[in-house]
Structure 1
């Protein structure tokens, strides 16, 4: 009961005196059907946290006398049928449960993160030596030479019975302790002399933890058309562990198209964030990041800024396109297959592609269910959304080149450094050097914000000297983005190279033939977007690439969308021009979507290279586990039809997608994906429907299975052992975890349905939700005369402690039946009787409470309680 009171009351400052307003000046707002709500101010009681709030420490419940009830209008309580004994209970303010509790600690306004705190049986905070160290506090003389002074001796003498709690407040009487049980927080305001001068500065995040993980992503597709058939399989895995804020990862990818197999080992590295330096150390098979140069893959080490602790100068970009059928998308960077997925027919956006770096172009291949394919390139300048994509700070890397796309002629050693400095409030300067075996490079860049931060411009210039090839050259890159008026924005980028320019990875290839045939002289992008409440949103993007051999490739994409009252209309356009080995795939896609609660219907028209398709798709989200879609499509010009069905399953601990399609009468395709993660931790092994990130955690809910918890990544469910994986949490920021109370069994209560975590990079957070198995009981009680007990009579336990009050018609609600033996009822005249009832043998878990009849017998006539 006291825990509920503390949770409802808010905050209380220790050491304040109970308020004593004039009698009859306040209303009994806590009376509902005659029952006083726990933790709600009764007549004359100040709200917690306001002047006159009840104290957690100054009031000793074992010594409450009648005179201490002067702060309550006892006559008004009697007139409303409320036993004045209730005042004794509500004299106590908010309090923590006795024992150890995990709290959020704040000292002089500086948050110290999570800390274990001890509370005595009166809810008073215990200042033991461990807590003082954690809070960065000291007793007088602790950090001074010589013997402790008199105040120190007095503080050491005033300990509790166990000899553990120091009299910190006696030593520092100016101290203000604010307890907030509802937020599981403790706020301290102490004199500056009480702060340890050598206390380390601790930010508001947790560190440490040990766990191992495995992420998996399996894809299988197949098609049958006439006498020919195709098969494709891919498997991506990442495994590693976190220990002491170190992150160790190994990532691989395997693919097989039925005739050839390909295995890509993408990386294996260890890294750790050093918070004081706001930087990350990384070593192993890595990709050089945060560099002004195109990031090569190396065997080596690097030191780069921690982006979560520094604001990056640029964001990412989306990869957009249109699929004509259920298509497979392959994304390659630096010659390596880094991502593959399935998309339904229509426009698609890939927003979570794990790029190796922001300096190499990305090649996207769209493979249709019919077997046709087309490719397009996203220039590196576009990946950084109009900026250099370099985080302020210093980056150093040393190592030996490794090639992701196959064997190379040479693997040179290299060393590179990049630094970014601020030259005024709105200008940043970036410079760097790269030195390799028979190779030198230098680069400089400028970022600037103009016109009241509405325009962002960046320029980059790289120069190279490839000694072995005898080539010297330069690459120039410029980008700009601006917001012109409300809802209108524009961005553009351009990259130009001279024939003699070489990156370090270029020197590993035969640049006399292959390089000149496949290398770009210039790459250009431009995009415009506009949004209006009436006319909707419009965007148009253009890219152009020129090879040194004279071949030109162009791509135009555009989209428009508008949400009306009952429908959403969208139009997407894609057009490719040029490129000898690139299918243009010109496409126009118009769709109208109508939401119907958990269901939706979408009709569309798709015109591709002169062929028109008409279709309709039905989607339904059945529940948290199952959603599916059905599609029917016709081709009027060809006189053919097709159909497709897809189902997505999230059976709590993994994710499964299955699909099948029929195109005409002779072509069939199918696909399936399985993805998720597994974590081995100190409490066992737990499966996750999502891939595990570099910062994650484990939530525990007793041993209660199937409980839904909302996490930053999405909803997860506890397994048979009450464990669930917090698959990914943003580092150095707060995230909320919340239990869906509707998923709790009827016999389970939680003291707090949400918790907040603030993890450091590479930490493993262990979050425990306190659960209590309860059995709620609703008694229909009558007195010795057979009539219902009087409303507002007080119900007390065998020791005389307040439990609740009698409601209408003699009903008594007990939130927990652990202590029901010997219950007694006291009416307004002071008459006492003992409750006698029989508890049902089995608990009804489908009902919120059990019901039973009770008889209240005069004291001495019955034992009372449960039979």
Structure 2
């Protein structure tokens, strides 16, 4: 039985092409159209022959490299997109041993993404009959009209071409939870250690700090502990336990369970710390195209049409739809503003355009999506000695493109608060409105009751390109207290330390963030700030940052204004700064010169100039030097000079700094990184995130991991790839450049979809490890060996093929002398013995070695 083959694998019957270095090939042109002809090729051996040279038997190549029947664990690609790793069974079809095909059952079809409801009656009957006959092998092309499946033995991958009509509809970026990888049992530790020394006249101090994040993974469970050790010459040495928690993903609920110390999410109420249990929606478990807010686009196509969606002139989606109603619900979030322009191009060329309002409101979620959070435990705040019980629940639901509703309740000792609100997406912008009612019973027996109302707005104003990212106003009545303020006030009263908050009771808070792109060549402007007044204080706190940035050819410059609280002096400080920067040269190693002048409300002028750059192939080393000048009110001046350097080593990141100024000196050094212990050993990393992959590539020391700058396989064959995206497909690549000459990678790419906090193990298979040799082989009379002859070692394993002029490329020779077998036919006079002897490796290195060898036929 013959089976259809993917189009990109079919050979065209063009047999008249002559190639200088390899044989012309042709498919069996007499075969019926659509039949498998992969590997069924004929070689014109006339292109191999030299006058007087032995004739080479090339018939063994006519079947290509057929796979053997068996069960394989392979990468599954559907329409050229990796979707996970699956187990597939290959069986021989018919009498031809070379006709081996992958077998499909109901489970594998579901993994491919076939809509089983769209299969033909005959295909459905075959699947039903297969359940009673475990040896039945169903071919993909026989089950799915227009579908093809091809197994690549060399790459260990199964390629499936699935027509859209038979495809189960999934949103973009979807990864089936069955492919989520919880990783291997492992222990991990991230660390950040530094020491800082300063000497300023009569005051000198040495301070040390070690920040630690350690834990262990077992299955889906993640144990984490965060703490730090501090020491200084005055206060001594102290260890602080910041938080300890046990977490895991709850897949059916798309949520995360946390037991121990953590924080509430702050979506509806202010975020607070707790020790207890929390179950809450984990947005990362949704495909990227389902996170955040984006509207559902609906319409009607009169024929097979193309739908294109634009936002602010940018194409953000293009797809084909059949005649009839269509719905597009997997748009990626694209910031805060810009209505969507929907362009439907019909089969006859007619075009229809419509608009959908799009502005992301505070707390808005997609239509049909529900987010929730439930927390129970002890309230945790370093400023509050007691630990009152805390219960909180929140829910958000997208009722439509236009309306999201949300509500929540918080209950603690002497405190009850409830919130309800909605987010609206309109053509005038996105609005959010909510009201919170809070009742507080204080320790002195008094009660406070009040409300807090919040209004939020966001909009991209198309004519001017002004992006009002956030504009919010919150008004709180005099009796309203948030949870944190209520707990602090209760604690102060219980300890007899007063009946009022030092920070004051908030009244009105205005927040705004604006980004404005100016016409081409005129740069951009930004403004962000807030203004807060209080019921029990006459002073208004206003802070802001505003700036303008642009460039003149290669010169970058910016002007910024800011108002912020100076904690050292306890006063508000206004500052203006001008910054100018220019690269001194071209390329990644060109130094960058930056200069700035700053003046504050105390009439202090601060001028700084710095030079920064990077060194090394991977920019692993960075450096910076700076000089500065300070003039306080024109009465005194001070100068300073300093430098810093960072080196990303294979196992850690090292930093150092030093500076000297008028009346002081400073020195500092640091080291950071991570370590993982697992069943395969111990691996180190210069930096490590929450979700990581351990790369195992035996013998590939020095090979570069392209996912991170400067990351290479260590001498023990390990590397840690940090900051993987959980619940998404992550591609890990090894660049063969930098590998020892004697080592080959069987595959340079692996893919994985880890769960949050997972430590996954990826093994890259390698071959070699011995010496690499270019052998110039000939017969005793000097004639070169036949082109295309097969070369095998003493065990009979194939190690290479004779190339032009008798050259043989050999890798992984583990002995300096031995004997190879060369064969160009089955007859006794079509074989010879090829003894070799290699010179000693210089300095123990295994670089390429070129030798001559003579083949003997006796």
Which of 597, 603, 607 is 1:613 aligned to? 607
Pairing 1:594–2:583 present: yes
Shift of 1:823: 1.5
What residue number does 2:413 align with?
Answer: 437
Look up the match of 1:463: 437
Answer yes or no: is 1:742 the counterpart of 2:733: no
Structure 1 residue matching 2:84: 3-state secondary structure: strand
Cα distance in 2 for residues equivalent to 1:490 and 1:16: 50
Of 524, 529, 547 in structure 1, the residue corresponding to residue 510 of structure 2 is 524
Shift of 1:275: 1.7
CA deviations 1:72-102 (Å, max 9, x no partner) are 5566776999999675344334656898754
Equivalent of 1:247, from 204, 216, 222? 222
- Taking the TM superposition and a 5 Å limit, the aligned residue runs for 1:494-505 are 494-505=473-484
Indicate the residue corresponding to 2:467 in structure 1.
Answer: 489
- Measured in 2, the distance between the counterparts of 1:171 and 1:456 equals 48
Provide the C-alpha distance between the structure 2 equivalents of 1:307 and 1:634, rounded to a whole number of angstroms.
Answer: 48
- Aligned partner (choices 251, 255, 260) of residue 275 of structure 1: 251
Partner of 1:308, secondary structure, is helix
> Is contact 1:797–1:820 with CA below 8 Å preserved after alignment?
no
- The equivalent of 2:623 in structure 1 is 628
Q: What does residue 582 of structure 1 align with?
A: 571
Q: 1:16 to 1:481 in 2, by over 3 A?
A: closer
Indicate the residue corresponding to 2:686 in structure 1: 689
C-alpha distance in 2 between matches for 1:17 and 1:852? 41
Distance 1:20 1:499 in 2: 81
Superposed counterparts of 1:516-595, under 5 Å: 517-531=503-517, 532-548=519-535, 549-576=537-564, 581-584=570-573, 586-595=575-584
> How much has 1:594 moved relative to structure 2?
0.8
In 2, Cα distance between the equivalents of 1:404 and 1:560?
39
| Correspondences of 1:134-283 after superposition (within 5 Å) | 166-169=135-138, 174=143, 177-181=149-153, 184-187=156-159, 202-255=177-230, 258-260=233-235, 264-283=240-259
SS of residue in 2 equivalent to 1:507: helix
**2:642 match:** 644
User: CA–CA distance in 1 between the matches of 2:853 and 2:56?
Assistant: 23
| Alpha-carbon shift at residue 747 of structure 1 (Å) | 1.2
1:27 aligns with 2:13: no
CA distance in 2, matches of 1:299, 1:20: 66
The equivalent residue for 2:698 is 702
CA distance 1:837–1:535, change in 2 (3 Å): farther
Question: Aligned partners of 1:417, 1:17: CA distance in 2, in Å?
Answer: 55
Structure 1: how far apart are the matches of 2:151 and 2:227? 50
Q: How does 1:633-672 map to 2 (within 5 A)?
A: 633-635=628-630, 640-664=638-662, 666-672=663-669
Cα 1:803–1:21 change in 2 (3 A) is same
Change (3 A) 1:765 1:97: farther
Cα distance change, pair 223–850 in 1 and its aligned pair in 2 (3 A) = same
State which of 86, 95, 98 in structure 2 corresponds to 1:115: 86
Quick check: 2:191–2:210 contact (8 Å CA) kept in 1? Answer: yes
Q: Specify whether residues 129 and 386 from structure 1 end up closer, same or farther in structure 2 by C-alpha distance, changes over 3 A only.
A: closer
SS of residue in 2 equivalent to 1:215:
strand
- Structure 1: distance between partners of 2:830 and 2:487: 95
Alpha carbons of structure 1 residues 259 and 278: separation in structure 2 relative to 1, 3 Å: same
- Using the alignment, how far apart are the partners of 2:251 and 2:560 within structure 1? 45
**Structure 2: which 5+ residue stretches go unaligned?**
92-96, 117-126, 169-174, 295-358, 491-497
SS of equivalent to 2:486: helix
Preserved CA contact (<8 Å) 2:780 2:854: yes
- Is the alpha carbon distance of 1:227 and 1:122 closer, same or farther for their aligned partners in structure 2, counting shifts above 3 Å? farther
Q: TM-score, normalised by structure 2?
A: 0.73
**Which residue is 2:390 aligned to?**
414
Paired residue secondary structure (2:737): helix
Q: Say which is worse superposed, 258-267 or 170-179, in terms of deviation.
A: 170-179
Give the equivalent residue in structure 2 for 1:403: 380
1:245 offset after TM fit, Å?
1.1
Residue 329 of structure 1 is matched in structure 2 by none
Q: Which residue of 2 aligns with 1:676?
A: 673
Question: Is contact 1:796-1:823 (8 Å) kept?
Answer: yes
Q: Distance in 2 between matches of 1:26 and 1:91?
A: 17
Note closer, same or farther for the CA distance 1:595–1:522 as it changes in structure 2 (3 Å cut).
Answer: farther
**Residue pairs, 1:276-425, within 5 angstroms:** 276-289=252-265, 291-310=267-286, 311-313=290-292, 387-388=362-363, 393-408=370-385, 410-425=386-401
Distance 1:253 1:518, change over 3 A: farther
Contact 2:528–2:545 under 8 Å retained in 1:
yes
Deviates more, 1:527-536 or 1:835-844: 835-844
- 71-80 or 626-635, which moves further after superposition? 71-80
Larger mean CA deviation between 484-493 and 586-595 belongs to: 484-493
**Structure 1 residues 105 and 589: alpha-carbon distance in aligned structure 2, compared to 1, 3 A threshold:** same
Instruction: Quote the offset at 1:133 in angstroms.
Output: 12
Residues 744-753 or 392-401, more deviating:
392-401
Task: Describe the shift of the 1:742–1:287 C-alpha distance in structure 2 as closer, same or farther (beyond 3 A).
Answer: same
Shift, 1:702, TM fit: 1.6
Change (3 A) 1:653 1:800: closer
Structure 2: how far apart are the matches of 1:34 and 1:82?
16
Q: Distance in 1 between matches of 2:503 and 2:128?
A: 84
Distance 1:258 1:20 in 2: 78
Aligned residues: 724
Q: Deviations over 1:706-765 (max 9, x none)?
A: 433233x65533334322223331111111111122221111110111111111234332
Cα distance in 2, alignment partners of residues 770 and 97 from structure 1? 20
CA contact (8 A) 2:101 2:139 kept: no
| CA 803–132 in structure 1, closer or farther in 2 if over 3 Å, else same | same
Q: Which moved more, 1:514-523 or 1:600-609?
A: 514-523
302-311 or 743-752, which deviates more = 302-311
Matched residue SS, 1:568 = strand
Cα 1:660–1:389 shift into 2, 3 Å: farther
Structure 1 residues 817 and 208: CA distance shift in structure 2, 3 A: closer
After superposition, the C-alpha distances for 1:119-178 in whole angstroms (9 at most, x for unaligned) are 69979567699997996999xxxxxxxxx999778x56xxxxxxxxx4424899648642
Residue 359 of structure 1: aligned partner: none
1:777: which partner in 2? 773
Separation of aligned partners in 2, 1:645 and 1:471 = 55
Q: Return closer, same or farther for 1:238/1:796 CA change in 2, 3 Å cut-off.
A: closer
Residue 629 of structure 1, CA deviation: 1.5
Q: Shift of residue 541 of structure 1?
A: 2.1
Kindly indicate whether the alpha-carbon contact (under 8 Å) linking 2:527 and 2:546 is maintained by their aligned counterparts in 1.
Answer: yes
Q: Which deviates further from its counterpart, 813-822 or 603-612?
A: 813-822
Q: Contact conserved, 1:111 with 1:204, CA < 8 A, in 2?
A: no
Deviation at 1:574, TM superposition (A): 2.4
Deviation at 1:840, TM superposition (A): 1.1
1:104 to 56, 64, 75: 75
Q: CA deviation at 1:494?
A: 2.3
- Aligned-residue offset at 1:112: 6.3
